[in-house]
Amino acid sequence: MELKSKRIAILAEDMYQELELWYPLLRMREAGAEVQVIGTGSAETYGSKHGYPVAVDAAADEVRAEDFDAV
């Protein structure tokens, strides 16, 4: 499947697992997808199990599933 110009959301929560977020995020961006990190709450950043932060692009209540091709 071609990912170029597809809009994809990745969900982030406090204590996320690094490989479950960063690997798909970077690979999908590498393939040309527009990927947004969506936080499950109102925090602007979330920490991983090992302390690596991720900044979110929006909170879940600010976006609609219809705006994305995949979640």
Structure token digits, residue 32: 């040309």
**Can you give the residue ranges of every domain in the chain?**
7-67
Please give the model's pTM, rounded to 2 decimal places.
Answer: 0.91
Predicted pLDDT at 48: 97
For residue 65, what is the DSSP state? G
As a whole number of angstroms, the longest Cα–Cα distance in the chain is: 33
| Residue 6: Cβ within 10 Å count | 16
- Give tens-digit pLDDT for 4-41: 999 999 999 999 999 999 999 999 999 999 999 999 99
